[in-house]
Amino acid sequence: MRSRRFWAGLVVVAVLGMFVFQPWAGADDVFGVVTNVLRVVQAQYWREVDAATLIRGALKGIMEALDDPYAQYLPPQNYDGFIQHTTGAYVGIGVGLEPHPNGVLITRVFRNSPAAKAGLKAGDIILFVEDTDTRHIGLSKLTELVRGKEGTAVSLSFYRGTVDTLQTIEVTRGAVVAPSAEWKIIEGNIGYIDIEIFGESLKDDIEEALKDLAGTKGLILDLRGCPGGLLDSLMDIAPFFVKEGPLMVEVSQGGQHAGIYSPGPGPDKPLVVLVNNGTASAAELLLGGIQDSKSGVVIGTRTFGKGVAQSVFSLGKELGGYKFTVVGYLTPLGREIDGIGLDPDVWVDDAGPEYLLPLAELISPFTTLKYGMTSEEVRKLQAALRVLGFFEGSTTKYFGPVTRRALIKFQHSEGLNADGVATFEVIEKINAKLIRAPILRDAQLAAAVEKILEMAR
């Protein structure tokens, strides 16, 4: 034991004895200190390390040192993704995609996109991208294949309606700006606009939406789940929704306050805004302007509470970029947003799905039911088959010829082995037919429709 302690002591002394102390830059020369550290580490660190690695580490440390939850160093890949998400701009073909049993379904084609110019339409199903079968890859991999360098071509094999219409086309990749909003006319001739993000395309989207919805009784502006986005986009659309006058108050370095104004004219018909705890940033600033100017009625729950804006700085392809908070905002009447959120004028919780009872009692799948048996599970089987239209007569607990004939009919209809025996697989199929999908009720949207109709009277 004494021997082990002796050797451990030698190791510590040896390590301590190897320190070499260097003269240091003065504490008042902050930038000189950082520069000196980078140079010393690169020159004397016992392993090779490149300058870019050290600078990335320094940038990360600087951002983490700020008392700012939104300050962040963004490595190249993260920076590109952040810019694409915030602006909606990228290089690709310009489609929305969803998985489909037969490939990948095009859910929408973006306005003026390469896909639109090539003749692709919502509802088309893509089977192959180049020589890759889309049925065997995820959406993230598919996105990688479809996107690429501007001006290059990608081969798509797709069909429209039926597989016999399968064709292959080449689409030239180009600059794409994803839609920032969707709109439609809903019950009662009411216009509905859903802003997904305050991206580069938002002004064009809103202008087109307002033209399409010009003949409606009122507008519902859905900001639920909207994370905000570009301040410029907020300024672009504010005149459509906020009357002429104050839009927000900017609080800059040193606590300086400056008013920011909407030129108006604001909405020309009843306006209801939907919000929840996912409504943040630019969406909250628009909301504050609408509320304080009484340009519309707000329905939903309290918003997220992000009343600050960040500037994003690029460092080039090798280093990426960084962002930090540069300014805060209040509503026109001086209400705080950051860390608090804004309350709606009318509080309506978003009701969860309504779960319905099954059409009949579910059968235990862990007991095989067959001819001649008597049990409570047989009664449940009969009741289930009756609800599904295969069994006639009163239910009993006895598995007789009537029950067997009914079960065989069900097995035939489902492509199962029609032997009249209720195995685990058969019972699971029956139970699946009995379960009813939950009813999804949008209580907030229903309240907004009711409010618009009331305001339009």
**pLDDT, tens digit (0-9, with 9 covering 90-100), for 418-444:** 999 999 999 999 999 999 888 778 999
In a domain, 189, yes or no: yes
**Containing structural domain, residue 256:** 181-347
In a domain, 172, yes or no: yes
Which range (3-12, 125-134, 239-248, 411-420) has the least confidence?
A: 3-12
In a domain, 49, yes or no: no
Q: Is the same domain home to 223 and 311?
A: yes
Q: How many domains does the chain have?
A: 3
DSSP 110-177: -TT-HHHHHT--TT-EEEEETTEEGGGS-HHHHHHHH--STT-EEEEEEESSSGGG-EEEEEE-EEEE
Question: What integer is the mean pLDDT of 404-414?
Answer: 95
For residue 410, what is the domain's CATH number? 1.10.101
Q: Is the same domain home to 256 and 185?
A: yes
Q: Is the same domain home to 291 and 423?
A: no
Q: What was the pLDDT predicted at 28?
A: 57
In a domain, 443, yes or no: no
Q: Is 281 a catalytic residue?
A: yes
Q: Is the same domain home to 163 and 260?
A: no
CB-neighbour burial class of residue 61 (10 A; exposed 0-12, middle 13-18, buried 19+): exposed
Pair of tokens at residue 100: 């489909």
Whole-number mean pLDDT of the chain?
89
Q: What was the pLDDT predicted at 16?
A: 33
Q: Is the same domain home to 342 and 422?
A: no
pLDDT, tens digit, 9 for 90 and up, residues 34-48: 788 888 888 888 888
- For residue 204, pLDDT beyond 60: yes
Q: Is the same domain home to 193 and 232?
A: yes
Catalytic residue among 281, 293, 323, 380: 281
Contact in structure between 191 and 453 (CB atoms under 8 Å): no
Question: Which of 136, 151, 177 delimits the end of a domain?
Answer: 177
Q: How confident is the model at residue 86 (pLDDT cuts 50, 70, 90)?
A: confident
Catalytic residue among 306, 323, 380, 429: 306
Q: How confident is the model at residue 18 (pLDDT cuts 50, 70, 90)?
A: very low
In a domain, 228, yes or no: yes
Q: Is the same domain home to 141 and 226?
A: no
DSSP 268-328: SS-EEEEE-TT--THHHHHHHHHHHTT-SEEEES------EEEEEEEEETTTEEEEEEEEE
Catalytic residue among 124, 194, 222, 292: 292
- For residue 411, pLDDT beyond 90: yes
Contact in structure between 228 and 198 (CB atoms under 8 Å): yes
Q: What was the pLDDT predicted at 231?
A: 92
Please enumerate in sequence order all residues whose Cβ is within 8 A of that of 35, keeping only pairs 6 or more positions apart, or say none: none
Contact in structure between 145 and 129 (CB atoms under 8 Å): yes
Contact in structure between 298 and 345 (CB atoms under 8 Å): yes
Instruction: Give the CA distances from residue 280 to residues 193, 227, 309, 346, in Å, rounded to whole numbers and listed in that order.
Output: 17, 5, 11, 18
Neighbours of 160 (CB within 10 A): 15
CA distance 174 to 91: 5
Q: Is 306 a catalytic residue?
A: yes
